[in-house]
């Protein structure tokens, strides 16, 4: 079982900085790559992968529910956006959702994700659960 820690929500559209000593979130000074107009999905990290600022895996939760900063959500992995720099973005859903792969997302959910990376380089792209599991097993965790 995997868990996600929420660090960005519709109420906080800029990615937050996490202080593991105080377990508090603070605004970042830099513009977030995930500040996309009308993007409503929670963003965060997979708890079992590490805690920022240490190496960890980023994830996007495909949900209609609203979450608060710091919420811990039981999740399952369904896909990944592979990036050439190795800072892959894992796609997850709540553990109880009846969906097991990126291909099963609705067209609307996929379109919302596609807006995050309108320019896709060679070797980059959206992949399903099998490739996501491979990336976790064989990839480095970025900072």
Cβ atoms < 10 Å from Cβ of 2? 18
Cα(115)–Cα(112) distance, rounded to whole angstroms? 5
pLDDT of residue 126: 97
The pLDDT of residue 17: 73
In a domain, 143, yes or no: no
For residue 24, the model assigns a pLDDT of 79
Computed on alpha carbons and rounded to an integer, the radius of gyration of the chain in Å comes to: 14
SS3 136: helix
Report yes or no: 81 and 88 within 8 Å, Cβ to Cβ. Answer: yes
Whether 60 is covered by a domain: the verdict is yes
Q: Looking at residue 13, which CATH number applies to its domain?
A: 3.90.80.10
Per-residue pLDDT of the chain (143 residues; tens, 9 = 90+): 899 999 888 777 666 677 888 887 777 655 444 444 557 899 999 999 999 889 999 999 999 999 999 999 999 999 999 999 999 999 999 999 999 999 999 999 999 899 888 889 998 999 999 999 999 999 888 86
**Domain containing residue 55:** 2-138
In a domain, 69, yes or no: yes
Domain count, the chain: 1
User: Has residue 128 been placed in a domain?
Assistant: yes
The pTM for the full model equals 0.87
Placement of tokens 């605004």 in the chain: 27
Rounded-to-integer distance, Cα 63 and Cα 109, Å: 9
């Amino acid at each position: 079982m995997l868990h996600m820690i929420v660090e960005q929500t519709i109420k906080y559209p800029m990615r937050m900085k996490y202080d593991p000593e105080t377990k508090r979130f603070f605004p970042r000074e830099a513009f977030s790559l995930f500040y996309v107009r009308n993007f409503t999905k929670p963003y965060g990290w997979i708890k079992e992968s590490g805690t920022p600022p240490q190496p960890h895996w980023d994830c996007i939760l495909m949900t209609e529910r609203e979450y608060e900063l710091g919420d811990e959500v039981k999740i399952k992995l369904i896909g990944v956006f592979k990036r050439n720099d190795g800072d892959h973005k894992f796609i997850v859903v709540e553990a109880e959702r009846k969906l097991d792969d990126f291909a099963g997302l609705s067209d609307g959910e996929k379109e919302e994700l596609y807006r995050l990376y309108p320019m896709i380089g060679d070797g980059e792209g959206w992949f399903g659960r099998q490739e996501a599991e491979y990336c976790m097993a064989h990839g480095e965790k970025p900072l």
